[in-house]
Structure 1
């Protein structure tokens, strides 16, 4: 923080670590802390969170690289590894999910901001970004990128103890949920890689009083197929049909010609992947949430949501997959598999 007395960032971390907060994501806790120069956001890594997503860089490393290239990203003030935390500039305003919950139309300013973010990300030069790992797919190797996504889902499917495996089986999640995608992955059009945010949804956008939108949570940003960023975004946004068309058209307008080769067919591939991945991941997440509450209404709601995820994934599995489960059957399976003594 420029000017004045130096900030003791470790002290900010220690203040944040003792506080309860509702600003908690899957991989980080986010705590607003007041300083003499105004509020900051202390972002503390959750050590217990299982990796359910690809990661390409450390978030701090990426945010430092994005300074001057992506104005809609929050500023990084400090980063530490032990303890593992960051301090970001505090972005005032309201989360978009508070302004427009899932299923409701998005404000015009938000739609325009998302288009602007796509345009910016698609033009960030590779030279400005941190290097990728040695085994990361080469630029343009979209089949390799998709194969990496599928490998992650297969790894998640076979992770966990016997109770988790039993729950997958009880809910009809195939042993290899990616089998129908593997051949299609090799048929993806080759497009140049671009910077992807990888997690653009309503809770990761803040709109201030002037209508300016900031985009948070860059820990899942990737270097990869630009069509995947659109698919991931559409999957997570719970858009109205009208907003879905608007955002798809916005991406098409924003994308350079070389990024649009074969994009419509490949968008369907990635949307199917997201539906399939969602049920593999959320069988565990939602199952634990169902098992962890004594509220009957909450259990029913979560079981209904998980039933919807199973229904969305089923068309992408083989025809011999077990019969789809009703919410009450899902709840019973969770009790039987995850709550047994």
Structure 2
């Protein structure tokens, strides 16, 4: 396999598969299809990062079966080549969270968490010296909150104007920081930290394969469950099935304080979503082609602000028409 030739071919390719931080291009080779994964244009960082994705995939290969195989990693230029996973995105199967997912998906999620929770820490790349100590869930939660504070603080004048008009406070995590001291201590584990419908592919032979390891972390395993439940938007019965499956496969010391602390991390995810999506949805509203599209997006953003605002002490958010006007006023000149 001529990796650099595949990289150049991927760069020249006009279309790419979805990805916020990466471009993903399927290419056919004599050995079968591969996925060439290259960094996308400088997307705003909205998430914590700990390790290079290739280092994670290489480390977990003996322990986690439901992942793409890393075939090549290159640093200059930066790109990876993975096996191409044939199948259907779970988001294409049931995108809206109202209908039940196939049993094969739910079984795959349970099996995946069981494998993930048993990856030995000695197999993983080292963490920085200032990373929270193993088991210090409070420090881990505060690290997550610092990431949201950084997103909020780096707003330029236009985004700051939108934040202020939509009543997103300068420190949206203040109340959650006060609650973080009450989290139960649990041993840290490898976290995928971005498991959702568009990162899961249902295959005929391997079951569910889990993609996009660029945001993997070393931290509180209960956060990984809560993050997954938030981002995946299961129907209620499936949500309880996944939660119960996690409890079945998790070691006893990882289950301490599960219900209370999963609720804390769910609150964190709602707060973070409101901060991040004020910008993302605001830009979508400003660029929307029709009045109907603008209104639908504004109603979605209002729902996010309502849910997130509960955790920073906010009142009723701005009405949809006010959100539309604010987005166009502050972000209408972007892009």
Query: 1:223 is paired with a residue of what secondary structure?
Result: strand
Aligned to 1:64: 58
Aligned to 2:74: 80
Aligned to 1:303: 298
| CA apart distance, 1:102 | 2.2
Moved more, 11-20 or 108-117: 11-20
Write the distance in 1 (CA, Å) between the matches of 2:264 and 2:305.
17
TM-score (norm 1): 0.95
Pairs within 5 Å for 1:184-333? 184-210=179-205, 212-318=207-313, 321=314, 323-333=316-326
1:227-277 per-residue CA deviation (whole Å, 9 max, x = no partner) reads 000000000011111111111111111111101111111111000000000
Aligned to 2:100: 105
RMSD (Å), alpha carbons:
1.4
Query: 2:79 is paired with a residue of what secondary structure?
Result: strand
Write the distance in 2 (CA, Å) between the matches of 1:213 and 1:139.
30
Q: Does 1:29 align with 2:29?
A: no
Alignment coverage as a number of residue pairs: 333
1:7-57 per-residue CA deviation (whole Å, 9 max, x = no partner) reads 111111111112233512111111101111111001111141111111111
Q: Is the 8 A contact 2:66 2:206 kept in 1?
A: no
| CA apart distance, 1:146 | 0.4
Aligned to 1:49: 43
Query: 1:40 is paired with a residue of what secondary structure?
Result: strand
Write the distance in 2 (CA, Å) between the matches of 1:281 and 1:20.
29
Q: Does 1:119 align with 2:145?
A: no
Write the distance in 1 (CA, Å) between the matches of 2:186 and 2:137.
7
Write the distance in 2 (CA, Å) between the matches of 1:89 and 1:292.
36
Query: 1:29 is paired with a residue of what secondary structure?
Result: strand
Write the distance in 2 (CA, Å) between the matches of 1:85 and 1:63.
14
Aligned to 2:128: 133
Write the distance in 2 (CA, Å) between the matches of 1:306 and 1:286.
6
Write the distance in 1 (CA, Å) between the matches of 2:151 and 2:228.
21
Write the distance in 1 (CA, Å) between the matches of 2:303 and 2:6.
42
Q: Is the 8 A contact 1:73 1:216 kept in 2?
A: yes
Aligned to 1:145: 140
Aligned to 1:12: 6
| CA apart distance, 1:298 | 2.5
- Unaligned runs of at least 5 residues, structure 1: 1-6
Q: Is the 8 A contact 1:40 1:89 kept in 2?
A: yes
Aligned to 1:3: none
- Unaligned runs of at least 5 residues, structure 2: none
Q: Is the 8 A contact 1:172 1:323 kept in 2?
A: no
Query: 1:203 is paired with a residue of what secondary structure?
Result: helix
Structure 1 ranges of 4+ moved more than 3 A: none
Q: Is the 8 A contact 1:102 1:237 kept in 2?
A: no
Write the distance in 1 (CA, Å) between the matches of 2:18 and 2:247.
33
Query: 1:43 is paired with a residue of what secondary structure?
Result: strand
Q: Is the 8 A contact 1:110 1:213 kept in 2?
A: yes
Q: Is the 8 A contact 1:147 1:182 kept in 2?
A: yes
Write the distance in 2 (CA, Å) between the matches of 1:211 and 1:243.
21
Q: Is the 8 A contact 2:283 2:332 kept in 1?
A: no
| CA apart distance, 1:210 | 3.9
Write the distance in 1 (CA, Å) between the matches of 2:13 and 2:282.
28
Write the distance in 2 (CA, Å) between the matches of 1:340 and 1:75.
42
Query: 1:186 is paired with a residue of what secondary structure?
Result: helix
Aligned to 1:95: 89
Aligned to 1:4: none
Moved more, 282-291 or 219-228: 282-291
Write the distance in 1 (CA, Å) between the matches of 2:71 and 2:292.
43
Write the distance in 1 (CA, Å) between the matches of 2:202 and 2:333.
45
